[in-house]
Amino acid sequence: MKYKTLGKSGVLVSELCLGAMTFGKEVNEQDSIRMIHQFLHNGGNFIDTADVYVGGESERIVGKAIKDRREEVVLASKVRMRVGAYPNDFGYSRRRVLAGIDESLERLGTDYLDLYQLHVWDNLTPIEEVIRTLDDLVTSGKVRYIGCSNFLAWQLMKALAYSDFHQYARFISVQPQYSLINREMDREVLSLCEEENVGVIPWAPLGGGFLTGKYKRNEKPASGRLSNGIGESSWENRATEQNFKVLEAVEEIALKINKTPAQVALNWLLGKKEITSPIFGASSIEQFEENIGSTGWTLTKEEWTKLDEVSKLPDEYPLRFIEKFQRHIGEQ
């Protein structure tokens, strides 16, 4: 397992991050703990969860698994989603965040988090209040670093600018959806992260399971996540003609090099310079082992480029204009 620095920090994280969203639901406690221990044995050290996952059960299981191995782990969790029935049981008010960190720490059985992330932008709470509260958490020692998830480029930049101006803790990472079939972050977020040295830890690196190769055109699954998912995880959103073209390219390369489609799709992400550590999940031990098999080897330049070309976004303004202008200047 290789390691990378997480954004503008000195902390090293494994090239894969173990996502704990399935722990306590699709995966029972015993198998969840087994996956975590196997991940650590394989050299992984980065684990991501959230207070809302399985009503806090995910955090509890992760805490139990790493109880005697806390110093081996770069532990990340998130706050934002509704966790109770009362009006202030969601969002980023100082009240909610201060309560949220204590609740997460108790479930995780630790006195600090390595990375505390905002789960998604909150239009209700001013970012100034949020950053000031997070800075207090860093100062208090309850949190080592802060990050965000599902932010637009302007939202991320506004937060970074506010932190820098007031010399508060700044986001060292962002957690967006990103994969061969979800490359919307190429428009602005990835270039911003590269410019500002913000780590990128993508969720759904296999497109919600679409890139595993188990789905076929015009055959909506009768069970599983895509059968009854909504929004990003819906069959209608994933099963587009363009996505199946990407999948065909993944399957072709996988067959050629004797790897699985999931391993190929993950390895493509590992070879992308802007990406720090894709967050992979698993609903079984077998799936976990398959995903771990995406490390320790690399696609050839030709294979990587083929996947990059078939999955890239269409030319759009202003990037189209800027690229043509730069080529024109270079010719003079």
3-state secondary structure of 221: coil
Count of beta carbons in the 10 Å neighbourhood of residue 312: 12
- CA–CA dist 42, 33 (Å, integer): 14
Specify the pLDDT at position 193.
98
Is 90 exceeded by the pLDDT of residue 86?
no
For 21, which DSSP code? T
Second-level CATH architecture of 3-212+261-298: Alpha-Beta Barrel (3.20)
| CA-atom Rg of the chain in angstroms | 20
What's the predicted TM-score (pTM) here?
A: 0.93
**Set 53, 116, 145, 215: catalytic member:** 53
Q: Which pLDDT band, with edges at 50, 70 and 90, does 53 fall under?
A: very high
Is 53 a catalytic site residue?
yes
Please check whether residue 109 is in contact with residue 76, taking contact to mean a CB–CB distance below 8 angstroms: no
Is 70 exceeded by the pLDDT of residue 52?
yes
Q: What sections of 115-208 are H helices per DSSP? A: 127-140, 153-166, 189-196
- CA–CA dist 90, 220 (Å, integer): 35
Give the highest mean pLDDT range of 44-48, 224-228, 322-326.
44-48
pLDDT digits (tens, 9 = 90+) for 154-201: 999 999 999 999 999 999 999 999 999 999 999 999 999 999 999 999
Q: Which pLDDT band, with edges at 50, 70 and 90, does 327 fall under?
A: confident
Specify the pLDDT at position 233.
75
Strand-pair category, 12-14 with 3-5: antiparallel
Q: For residues 321 and 311, which has the higher predicted lDDT (pLDDT)? A: 311
Is 80 exceeded by the pLDDT of residue 330?
no
pLDDT digits (tens, 9 = 90+) for 35-49: 999 999 999 999 999
pLDDT digits (tens, 9 = 90+) for 9-31: 999 999 999 999 999 999 999 99
How many residues are recorded in the chain?
332
- Ordered by start, the domain boundaries in the chain are 3-212+261-298
Which positions ≥6 away from 14 have C-beta within 8 Å?
1, 2, 3, 43, 44, 45, 46, 277
Q: Please, how many CA atoms are within 13 Å of residue 2, restricted to the half-sphere of its CB?
A: 14
Q: For residues 224 and 206, which has the higher predicted lDDT (pLDDT)? A: 206
| Mean pLDDT (the chain, rounded) | 94
Q: Which pLDDT band, with edges at 50, 70 and 90, does 224 fall under?
A: low
3-state secondary structure of 25: coil
Please check whether residue 76 is in contact with residue 20, taking contact to mean a CB–CB distance below 8 angstroms: no
Q: Looking at residues 74-78, what average pLDDT do you find?
A: 98
Percentage with pLDDT > 70 across the chain: 97
Question: Beta partners for 7?
Answer: none
Specify the pLDDT at position 332.
53
Tokens 């003609």, located at residue: 241
